Each structure stands twice: as C-alpha cells, then as structure tokens.
C-alpha cells in the first residue's frame, strides 16, 4: 500500500516515514518546498522509488492536496505549526485547522482508495492546565485554550495559541467525519501524544534548528536549564518518538483503532527525572538538583493511556532507553560531544 505523510520533513514525521518504509509501505511525503526533499531522499536512499515527494506550498488553500491524495491507501496528517514564533493566535490556528479541513476535503473528492486517515493531534487537545492533580481521558477536550484565545486574542499566552490550534484542528476533523458520514469510505484516528523526545532524524542546521521538544530536552538535560529551580519545577508528560511513530503506523493498520482518539504518554516527569536518567548513561552531564525526590512529586496532569497497549499492542520505552538513544544520536550528528 501507499501512504501519504504530510509535513514529511518534520521531527515526528521522519520517524513515521522510516517505520512505514521498514514495514514495506510506499510513502508519498508532502513538503513545503522542493529544497526539503533531497536530504530525505538521501536518508532513505535504500528504499529507492518507494519514497516520493510532492510540494504543497500552502496547506490552507482549497484543493491543496487534490493531487497528493490520488492513489494513496491511507494518510498521516502531521503538518501543523509547533513553535512559539507567531504574533497572533491565527498564526497557529489557521494552518492547523484549514490544513486539516483542506486535506480531508481533498480526500473526500479524490482519495478514492483511502481507508484511514491518522491525524497527529496532541494531548493539548485533551488537557486543561490546573494546579489540582487530574487524570485526563480520551473523552475530555481542552476548552480552556479556546476560551483564552477567544477572550484575550493576541494577549493570551502563545502556548494557548498552540493548544487551541491542536484542539480546533482535531475538532474540525471529527466534525468533518460526522458531516460527511454517508460519502466517505475511510475512518479517522486521532493521535494525542504529549511532548515527544528521542533521536532526531530530520535535517538540521545545528542545535538552534532543533524542533521545539528536542530543543527543550537539549536545553534542560545537556545544558542544565536556565536555572536549577526549573529542573525540579518544570515538567509534563513525554513519549519516545519511536513509540509515537509506531503508534501512528499501528493506528493505521489495526482495524479496531478506527474512530478512536489515542493518548500515548510514556509517563510524567520533571526535567530533573530526565537529567537523572541521562546521567545513568553519561555521568559527567550537569547533575542539576541532587536533593530532588521524584517520588514525592504530585503531577498535575496524568493521562489514561491504555489504548497504546490494548488497541495498538505496543510498549513504551523507558526514560533511560530514550536518553541513551538521544545521547548516541546527538554524538553521531555532532550536536553535542
Ligand atoms: P516539526 O516542527 O519538526 O515539524 C512540523 C512539520 O509541520 C514540518 O514539516 C513543517 O514544515 C510543517 N508545518 C509547520 N507549520 C506549517 C504551516 N504553517 N504550513 C504547512 N506546514 C507546516 O514538529 P514536530 O515533528 O514536533 O510536530 C509534528 C506534529 O506533531 C505536529 O502536528 C505537532 O503539533 C504534533 N505534536 C508534536 C509534539 C512534540 O513534542 N514534538 C507533541 C504533540 C504533538 P516546515 O519544515 O516547512 O516548517
């Protein structure tokens, strides 16, 4: 079968492309400009013609994906802004929502072979930020960020712009499926990962060009953060990029996954937990706060993540395993020595 992967040059997407090729699929990747393809062609040179690229310069345009969806059996839609460089909520919300609607519209019209669409959503479409600890499940939606941007516009926090963009894009996808139920022959799966960490395969121009999540890992674990206090106060949920990519591929091949939202968290952390994991492999890394007692931390956000094992049949990497792979990878790529 052939799979369309949008934003194929991104951190998560390159891993999805790799898994798909390893499993024998042909891949058509979309990139925003021609210049982003040669590096990937070279990275996956051993797969020859099984990997091809098409340029979709503006994913928000009507019909942008009309050609790209022709002849593919499934779609992995990952392209969406994940950075904090915007100046207005729409800088995130418009590409996320219009990009999702545009690919689904093209699929409706021209994706006659498509059986399943996997949307890279985020745990940001599920969780709301609160001080009191809560367990979030796939039934829950982040309304908080939508309210924030509606009420405060560009005065709201950029992290809510991103969170709202993911929530509104995922909602738009489920709405599309509902509205076109009788006309479509495919179903939808939404992947809801938290922060993704792990080795980087994408093209880079030094550490400054790392994708946001791995830039944070680099900053906190290899550089010790901005100050010591952050290492024990800042945290969240994380998942290994290989687990995240595997989950995307399984979500496409496992029949039962159709129609599900799937939270995929490998666990909670404060940055000091990653420092401790990485220092088991590389003892000369900055030690951070040695008085940190991980077991005493009550994490405000915990996810219900059963579907990863029960539906997709996968097992999470540990922080030690992820750290090990990152350190090897950063050395190989000359990002750190
Ligand atoms: P990257 O920044 O590495 O990749 C983002 C991809 O989306 C790139 O291909 C990028 O293209 C494309 N893209 C970004 N903005 C636009 C736009 N306005 N129009 C068209 N294409 C665009 O990020 P990740 O790999 O980390 O993210 C991939 C997906 O995973 C996103 O949907 C993100 O929300 C989601 N996600 C990521 C998490 C993480 O921690 N990394 C956590 C949860 C979800 P270009 O290179 O041309 O800019």
ipTM, two decimals: 0.99
pLDDT at 30: 98
Q: What is the pLDDT of residue 85?
A: 85
**The whole model's pTM is what?**
0.98
Which residue's CA is the closest to the ligand 1 atom numbered 41?
196
Burial class (CB in 10 A: 0-12, 13-18, 19+), 70: middle
Q: In 3D, which of 30, 5, 26, 2 has the Cα closest to residue 16?
A: 5
Looking at residue 75, what is its pLDDT? 98
Among the atoms of ligand 1, which is closest to the Cα of residue 13? 25
* Count of H-run helices and E-run strands, the chain: 11, 12
- The per-residue pLDDT for 288 is 95
d(CA 117, CA 187): 6
Q: What is the mean pLDDT of residues 305-319?
A: 97
- The average confidence (pLDDT) of the chain is 97
CA distance 31 to 34: 7
Q: Which pairing describes strands 51-55 and 74-77: parallel, antiparallel, or unpaired?
A: unpaired
The stretches of the chain forming alpha helices (DSSP H) are 11-22, 37-43, 90-110, 144-152, 158-179, 212-217, 228-233, 241-253, 271-281, 306-310, 319-332
DSSP three-state, residue 186: coil
As a dihedral over the C-alpha atoms of residue 176, residue 179, residue 182, residue 183, rounded to 10 degrees, the angle is: -50
Q: Does position 12 have pLDDT exceeding 90, yes or no?
A: yes
Shortest CA distance to 289 belongs to which of 265, 306, 270, 314? 270
Superfamily assignment of 2-332 in CATH? NAD(P)-binding Rossmann-like Domain (3.40.50.720)
Question: Which residue ranges have their beta carbon within 6 Å of ligand 1?
Answer: 7, 9-13, 32, 59, 78-82, 95, 120, 122, 166, 193, 195-196, 211, 213
Assign 321 a pLDDT band (cuts: 50, 70, 90): very high
With a cut of 90, say whether residue 89 has pLDDT above it. yes
Partners of residue 189 on adjacent β-strands: 118
Using the predicted structure, report yes or no on whether residue 337 has a pLDDT greater than 80: no
Q: Ligand 1 pocket: which of 12, 145, 201, 242 to mutate (most atoms <8 Å of CB)?
A: 12
Residue 224 pLDDT > 90, yes or no? no
Considering only CA atoms, give the Rg of the chain: 19
- What's the average model confidence in pLDDT over 1-26? 98
pLDDT digits (tens, 9 = 90+) for 286-301: 999 999 999 999 999 9
Average pLDDT over residues 126-151: 96
Q: Which residues pair with 197 in a beta bridge?
A: 240
Confidence of residue 92 (pLDDT cuts 50, 70, 90): very high
Q: In the predicted model, what is the mean pLDDT of residues 8-21? A: 98
Residue 327: per-residue pLDDT? 98
pLDDT category at 245 given cuts 50, 70, 90 is very high
Six-digit token pair at 66? 């009309």
pLDDT in tens, 190-216: 999 999 999 999 999 999 999 999 999
- Pocket mutation for ligand 1, best pick of 10, 97, 261 (most atoms within 8 Å of C-beta): 10
Question: What is the predicted pLDDT for the residue at 336?
Answer: 85
Reply yes or no on whether the pLDDT at 53 is more than 90. yes
Q: Determine the pLDDT at residue 247.
A: 98
The mean pLDDT value for 24-46 works out to 98
pLDDT of residue 226: 81
Distances (CA, A) of 128 to 92, 136, 157, 184, 292: 18, 9, 14, 32, 26
pLDDT of 315 > 90? The answer is yes
User: How would you classify the pairing of strands 267-270 and 235-240?
Assistant: antiparallel
Q: What stretch of H or E contains 29? A: strand 26-31
- Please report, for the chain, the start and end positions of each structural domain, with discontinuous segments joined by +: 2-332
Task: Return the residue whose CA atom lies nearest to atom 9 of ligand 1.
Answer: 7
DSSP, collapsed to helix, strand or coil, labels residue 246 as: helix
pLDDT band at 126 (very low <50, low <70, confident <90, very high): very high
Find the mean pLDDT for residues 112-133.
Answer: 96
pLDDT category, 84, cuts 50, 70, 90? confident
């Amino acid at each position: 079968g052939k799979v369309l992967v949008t934003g194929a040059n991104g951190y998560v997407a390159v891993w999805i492309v790799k898994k798909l090729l390893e499993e024998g699929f042909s891949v058509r990747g979309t990139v925003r400009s021609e210049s982003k393809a040669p590096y990937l062609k070279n990275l996956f040179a051993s797969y020859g013609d099984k990997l091809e690229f098409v340029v979709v310069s503006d994913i928000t345009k009507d019909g942008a994906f009309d050609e790209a969806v022709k002849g593919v059996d499934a779609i992995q839609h990952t392209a969406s802004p994940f950075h904090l460089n915007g100046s207005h909520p729409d800088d995130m919300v418009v590409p996320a929502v219009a990009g999702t609607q545009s690919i689904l519209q093209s699929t409706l019209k021209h994706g006659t072979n498509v059986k399943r669409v996997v949307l890279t959503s985020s745990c940001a479409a599920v969780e709301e930020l609160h001080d009191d600890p809560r367990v979030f499940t796939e039934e829950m939606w982040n309304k908080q960020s939508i309210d924030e941007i509606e009420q405060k516009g560009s005065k709201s926090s950029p992290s809510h712009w991103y969170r709202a963009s993911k929530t509104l894009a995922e909602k738009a996808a489920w709405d599309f499926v509902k509205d076109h139920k009788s006309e479509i022959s495919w179903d939808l799966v939404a992947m809801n990962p938290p922060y993704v960490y792990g080795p980087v395969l994408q093209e880079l121009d030094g550490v400054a060009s790392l994708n946001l999540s791995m830039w944070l890992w680099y900053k906190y674990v290899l550089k010790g953060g901005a100050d010591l206090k952050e290492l024990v106060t800042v945290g969240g949920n994380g998942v290994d990029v290989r687990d995240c990519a595997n989950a995307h591929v399984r979500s496409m091949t496992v029949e039962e996954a159709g129609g599900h939202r799937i939270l995929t968290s490998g666990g909670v952390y404060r940055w000091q937990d990653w420092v401790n994991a990485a220092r088991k492999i590389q003892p000369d890394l900055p030690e951070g706060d040695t008085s940190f007692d991980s077991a005493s931390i009550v994490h405000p956000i915990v996810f219900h993540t059963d579907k990863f094992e029960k539906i997709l049949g996968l097992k999470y990497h540990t922080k030690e395993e992820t750290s090990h792979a990152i350190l090897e990878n950063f050395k190989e790529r000359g990002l750190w020595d």
